[in-house]
Amino acid sequence: MSQSIDQIMRLAPVIPVIVIDRVEDAVPMAEALVAGGLTVLEVTLRTPAGLDAIAAMKRVKGAVVGAGTVLDPAMLAAAIHAGAEFIVSPGLTDNLGKAAVASGIPFLPGTANAGDIMRGMDLGLDRFKFFPAATSGGIPALKALAGPFGQARFCPTGGISLATAPDWLALEAVLCVGGSWVVPSGPLDPARIEALASEAAALKA
């Protein structure tokens, strides 16, 4: 039985947002993140290596691997075929939303305003990514948005750091945050990734 998006969001306070260029980095990267305590991994489909990286990371014990930057139903189908256990999108369209709901896969669509959230709720969704968090009005904006939508819960992503994550996680409407800081760009350094993951995992939602 697959986990719901709510269960996935509660597994760890930070979901690493991973942009991967080399498939051979996928397994050691996932192993380092899981060892540090971050078990939910969002592999973005911004690079050609994304789909193969998802398939590779799925072999790492304890990892829950999803696809990010899913923009349309074709990308959704490719991500599911690669073995993604959840789907994250930067925004929400009717086409993608309906396809994701029909597929039954846990789905975290991007929202930045009340209209986005209402569109999601029309599809039966109440778990959302708030993106891009820092430039969409930050914490005051999410607090204001969460007010009318009491049942909605969010994963703010975009411009969040280890220093600012606790302020976001303190909000009742926030279950976790997305962060790219735990997987720095440049040559793969598993020891550093594990240390950064350990710091992030110590933050409590």
DSSP 125: -
Distance in angstroms (rounded) separating the CA atoms of residues 190 and 194? 6
Cα-based distances in Å from 16 to 53, 64, 153, 156 = 14, 11, 18, 12
DSSP 15: E
Cβ atoms within 10 Å, residue 144: 11
Distance in angstroms (rounded) separating the CA atoms of residues 165 and 102? 33
**Residue of 31, 58, 85, 129 with catalytic role:** 129
Question: Identity (one letter) of the amino acid at 160?
Answer: I
**Residue of 42, 58, 85, 194 with catalytic role:** 42
Tell me the two tokens of residue 146: 């969460």
User: Any bridge partners for residue 65, and if so which?
Assistant: 41
172 is catalytic: no
Question: In three state form, how does the secondary structure of 25-39 look?
Answer: HHHHHHHHHHHCCCC
DSSP 44: E
Give catalytic residues, as residue numbers: 42, 129
